[in-house]
Amino acid sequence: MSKIKGYAMLKIGQPGWIEKERPVCGPTDALCKPLAIAICTSDVHTLWEGAIGERHNLVLGHECCAVVDEVGSLVKDFKPGDKVLVPAITPDWNSLEAQAGYSMHSGGMLAGWKFSNIKDGVFSEVFHVNDADGNLAHLPANISPEDACMLSDMVPTGFHGAELADIQFGDIVLVIGIGPVGLMSVAGANLRGASRILAVGTRPKCVEAAKGYGASDFISYKNGSIEEQVLELTDGKGVDKVIIAGGNVDTFASAVKALKPGGKIGNVNYLGSGLNISIPRVEWGVGMGHKQINGGLMPGGRLRMEKLGALVSSGRLDVSPLSSHVFNGWENVEKALFLMRDKPADLIKPVVKVA
């Protein structure tokens, strides 16, 4: 068996390079080699916050585009040499959870999230994809490797925030957090017809990008409470919908307070720490305010990749502003990961081209 190298979480707080056996390709699986990889804030939560618990020698990463290296005997639509979009979430499509409409929880809560959670991730010379026909998508020829990486997680997660908040034509929408995920929530809310988008965040590069994606008003969580600023900007009425793509367990209280009765909250933030989320009793209509709170992991799979890829390849969605830092070569993975942890003012998303 040949050996492959991967950049791994050795244990909580300690990343490093390791060697592993090349994975085994089952009949419906594919083995792929990354063309480019992107670092996610979730890698930071997992590695430094230990947000999903201890992991030993687990290869990190779930965002990449790749070239197929090997396929199993039952794979119909992909062959070695095909360039592919790879979703961060790769469900088991035969599972009962997938049949119930929640493929991201196939096999258990969040278990559609396999890369860098329950198996080795994509920061590896070769990585394994389950259910290749159901999870991979052919990479459209006019999408660059950097942009393709944004389709693994940033676009599907940000857009899922807009779905969870059920954005309707004319809605006034608050997007809390405008890192790369929140920026895609702004873009998603805009595409779904929001009339006004209030964006919460401070990094100047993100603020500038949010303007480009359709944000109309800006709020700094560093300048007092979010809800007070929202109420001031909306003549005391609040917003129809809230998408949470940043902050912490306390952010939900602000979202509930900023929301009109009958409003909906869509959370895609990965809550890395804190025991409980508290909901303010009075502003939640003493239990009767019809303020819905939804939180979800992005849906993965091939159909979603193809549809979101089509939005990018047709020019309806420009994801190029997200890749603020582009490096060449595996040796830069570590630098990119530490950048994502430290979040300098000019960072949106680091990408590393590895082929």
What Cα–Cα distance (Å) separates residue 24 from each residue in 2, 93, 144?
11, 20, 29
Joined together, the tokens standing for residue 73 give 């005997």
Which of the choices Zn ion, ligand NDP, none does residue 134 contact, using the CB cut-off of 5 to 8 A by kind?
Answer: none
Contact 343, 320 (CB under 8 A): no
Q: For ligand NDP, which residue of 61, 91, 246, 321 counts as binding (CB under 6 A)? A: 246
Smaller CB distance to Zn ion: residue 26 or 272? 272
Number of residues that bind ligand NDP (CB under 6 A): 30
Secondary structure class of 209 (helix, strand, coil): helix
For residue 87, give the H/E element and its range. Answer: none
Q: For Zn ion, which residue of 8, 30, 31, 42 counts as binding (CB under 5 A)? A: 42
Smaller CB distance to ligand NDP: residue 25 or 348? 348
Q: For ligand NDP, which residue of 182, 266, 309, 350 counts as binding (CB under 6 A)? A: 182
Q: Which window, 33-41, 90-98, 306-314, 328-336, contacts Zn ion (CB under 5 A)?
A: 33-41
Smaller CB distance to ligand NDP: residue 113 or 330? 113
89 near Zn ion, judged by CB under 5 A: no
Q: For ligand NDP, which residue of 151, 162, 243, 298 counts as binding (CB under 6 A)? A: 298
Site for ligand NDP in 159-178 (CB under 6 A): 176-178
Contact 156, 308 (CB under 8 A): yes
Place of tokens 């890698």: 43
304 near ligand NDP, judged by CB under 6 A: no
> In the bound complex, what is the minimum distance in angstroms from residue 251's beta carbon to ligand NDP?
5
Contact 198, 233 (CB under 8 A): yes
Number of residues that bind Zn ion (CB under 5 A): 3
Q: For Zn ion, which residue of 4, 8, 36, 40 counts as binding (CB under 5 A)? A: 40
Smaller CB distance to ligand NDP: residue 19 or 250? 250
Query: Rounded distance, CA 170 to CA 191, Å?
Result: 11
Query: Rounded distance, CA 84 to CA 74, Å?
Result: 18
Buried b / exposed e over 117-142, threshold 16 CB at 10 Å, is beebbbbbbbbbbbbbbbbbbbbbee
Q: Could you report how far apart the first and last alpha carbons of the chain are, in Å? A: 23
Q: Which window, 145-153, 199-207, 229-237, 242-250, contacts Zn ion (CB under 5 A)?
A: 145-153
Pattern 122-161, ligand NDP, x by CB under 6 A: -------------------------------x---x----
What Cα–Cα distance (Å) separates residue 329 from each residue in 17, 170, 195, 343, 353?
14, 45, 43, 21, 6
Residues that bind ligand NDP in the complex, under the rule CB under 6 A: 40-42, 45, 153, 157, 176-182, 200-203, 206, 221, 245-248, 251, 268-270, 297-298, 343
